[in-house]
Amino acid sequence: MFRSIYTNLALATLLLAASHATAFAMESPTTKKTKLSNSYLDSIPEGPPDAILGIAEAFKSCTDENKVNVCVGAYRDSSGKPWILPSVRKAEERLLADTSVNKEYAPIAGDAKYVDLALGFAYGADANLANIAGVQSLSGTGACRIGGHFLSKFVPKPDGLDKVPIYIPSPTWGNHIAIFNEAGMDVRRYRYYNAKTNRLDYDGLIEDLKDAPDGSVILLHACAHNPTGCDPTMDQWKDISDLIKSKSHHVFFDSAYQGFASGDAEADASALRYFADEGHNIVLAQSFAKNFGLYGERTGTLSVLTNSPEERSAVMSQLKLIIRPMYSSPPIHGSSIVKTVLTDEELTTEYYGNCKEMATRIRAMREKLVEVLKEVGSTHDWSHVTEQIGMFAFTGMSSEMCDELTSKSSIFLTKDGRISLAGLNDGNIEYVAKAVHAVTDGKSITS
């Protein structure tokens, strides 16, 4: 009898243990009822959405069949679709067919052959690469971040300052401010655009660079300034170079549109190459997102123009020390595409034709927008739009006008009045022009 009781008790104990084990196994961390008393997570505030990507998300969720996205800076073809450059497609097909291609890690500094080709593309085929320290980067954003960290660490701080100041044009690409702040620099602004004339504020630019502490870093857009599309003339670039040298400033070029701006990659590099010839120790952030259409491949370079192979070696060592704990090594697919295109004469020729095709369509949309605005009754002077260059038209519209365009016509754009011309085509340009006329009629587009 006792044996039977013990047997039943043991069996009940085993069943109870099994039941508890099953319940524990099925319980996920998110269903636990207990809460740590010292959790920090409930005190984290909601961060603001990205100014541009947030608008893109709003566009996606909009159900208006007439909606138009002229916000995000990515090329679209005449039917409003993303366009993979034919030269890029062919290069990718070759890579996929090449059984020797592998997926091994790239070195910290990236694919050296790709970097050399990229630097030749920017500085010119005759550039002395023995004096240029170059690393592969995560597109232009990553290049700016590496460059900012490098300058923050090694540029001497002007007297009385705790951080290295970097002067950024006003306005500029919005991410510049956050990038250089995160890199530990003192972000300051210099005048660039005159809203009263809708053109370059050259006098303000010169005055502000003169007033900057000697030895400051000056960020310049190499071509197709984002968001204004206003670039200095070559004579003005020369004066800017002279002023920067006289103040012992340091030059940081951001080049995101070479080849895309005018359709001529050599012409688009004129300012950069002039500064290089003048002896500036340029820091260059270079992106292949726009001009190769490699938006999602995150392909770029960061380079420093030094005075000797010995300086180059030292700078390279420090750039690697910055990269290693940041992301270790770059992705290889996009750089392999660029390398394949630029090492094949036929593909290179086709690529330059692709660039010209994109630039030509953008230029046509720029001119047609102004033409149709006049046709629908606008009496404003829109000549500043046709004088600009690159992907964007900086219209002069106020934030209130932009809000009205979005709320009444489902036209999505940034609040500074910037329109991505790549989002326009023959099917929507009249709709956009009529909407722009409706919100600007009788109101000023200068301030």
Catalytic residue among 90, 290, 339, 368: 290
d(CA 340, CA 85): 13
Residue among 254, 268, 339, 416 flagged as catalytic: 254
Q: Residue 218: name the closest of 226, 209, 228 by CA.
A: 209
Taking CA atoms, 385 is separated from 197, 208, 369, in Å, by 12, 26, 9
Question: How many Cα atoms are found within 13 Å in the side-chain-facing hemisphere of 113?
Answer: 11
The 8-class DSSP code of residue 82 comes to B
C-beta separation of 389 from 262 below 8 A: yes
- Distance between CA 412 and CA 405 in Å, rounded? 7
Backbone angles phi, psi at 402, to 5 degrees: -65, -40
Nearest C-alpha neighbor of 150 from the set 256, 285, 243: 285
Question: Catalytic residue among 83, 90, 111, 173, which?
Answer: 173
Rounded-to-integer distance, Cα 281 and Cα 261, Å: 25
Give the C-alpha distances (Å, rounded to integers) separating 119 from 144, 146, 259, 320.
16, 17, 14, 17
Active site residue 83: no
CB count, 10 Å around CB of 42? 6
Integer angstrom CA distances of residue 328 from 97, 112, 288: 28, 15, 20
77 is catalytic: no
Q: Provide the strand spans (E) within 357-404.
A: 392-394
Q: Is 53 exposed, middle or buried (0-12, 13-18, 19+ CB in 10 A)?
A: exposed
Per the annotation, the verdict on 254 as an active-site residue is yes
Please list the active-site residues.
173, 254, 290
